[in-house]
Amino acid sequence: MTLKDAKIGQTVKVKKLNGEGAVKRRIMDMGITKGTEIFIRKVAPLGDPIEVTVRGYELSLRKADAEMIETE
């Protein structure tokens, strides 16, 4: 399951980050690393972006970025 598939109000744990190079580095720089818990706060009406809470702060992610984050 990826972060894109998670439902509003759900808390998920990062299992793996897919992607390469600058994209993966940018996601990691936002604080999303293996083992981090992510709470899904809101999803925009058309599904993009997704608002999440990570490590105590709010973050908006594009669907394309959320697809690269495998969760459990």
CATH for 23: 2.30.30.90
Distance CA 49, CA 43 (A): 6
Residue 31 belongs to domain spanning: 3-71
| Domain total of the chain | 1
Which residue would you say has higher pLDDT here, 46 or 11? Answer: 11
Q: Decide if 12 contacts 4 (C-beta within 8 A).
A: no
pTM: 0.85
Which residue would you say has higher pLDDT here, 47 or 30? Answer: 30
> 51-62: per-residue pLDDT in tens?
999 999 999 999
Residue 51 identity (one-letter amino acid): E
